[in-house]
């Protein structure tokens, strides 16, 4: 009887050990499953983070490209504006020279008119004065 009574108790002990092993294995599987889920979420987060970084880089690169284009455009516009202002200054200088030349000729004309009036007002020496006028007017007009 002791053999028969051992059999059910040893069978019960084996079942109890198997339940314990099964429980340990189940807990270990749950832990591994949770750890796997955690790693998977971290991987997904890192992939998302990686994609966000690439997206931000692409935006930054495009902004930099646009800023470079804007800078090049501003430089080109500044150069064009400089040349226009330079040409305008040259034209203003030419205008001032032409005005100066015009004033000089007006002064010369007025001086000649004064000389003519002076000569016309001297009745006795008009023939002598006209001869000297033509001598003095000759070299200045040539």
Q: List per-residue pLDDT tens for the chain, 142 residues long.
A: 444 444 666 777 788 888 888 888 999 889 988 888 888 888 888 889 899 999 999 999 999 999 999 999 999 999 999 999 999 999 999 999 999 999 999 999 999 999 999 999 987 654 555 555 554 555 454 4
Which DSSP category does 123 fall into?
A: S
pLDDT at 32: 87
5, part of any domain: no
141, part of any domain: no
For 116, left (φ over 0), alpha (ψ -120 to 50), or beta? alpha
136, part of any domain: no
41, part of any domain: yes
Q: Are 99 and 109 in contact (CB under 8 A)?
A: no
User: What's the domain range around 19?
Assistant: 11-131
6, part of any domain: no
Collapsing DSSP to helix, strand or coil, 1 comes out as: coil
How many domains, the chain? 1
Q: Are 122 and 129 in contact (CB under 8 A)?
A: yes
Q: Are 108 and 83 in contact (CB under 8 A)?
A: no
1, part of any domain: no
């Amino acid at each position: 009887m002791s053999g028969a009574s051992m059999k059910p108790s040893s069978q019960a002990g084996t079942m109890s050990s198997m339940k314990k092993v099964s429980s340990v294995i189940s807990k270990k599987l749950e832990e591994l499953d949770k750890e796997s889920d955690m790693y998977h979420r971290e991987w997904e987060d890192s992939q998302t983070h990686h994609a966000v970084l690439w997206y931000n880089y692409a935006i930054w690169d495009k902004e930099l490209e646009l800023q470079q284009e804007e800078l090049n455009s501003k430089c080109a516009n500044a150069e064009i504006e400089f040349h226009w202002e330079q040409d305008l200054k040259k034209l203003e200088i030419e205008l001032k020279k032409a005005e100066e030349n015009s004033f000089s000729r007006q002064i010369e004309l007025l001086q000649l008119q004064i000389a003519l009036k002076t000569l016309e007002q001297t009745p006795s020496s008009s023939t002598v004065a006209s001869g000297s006028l033509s001598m003095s007017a000759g070299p200045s007009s040539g």
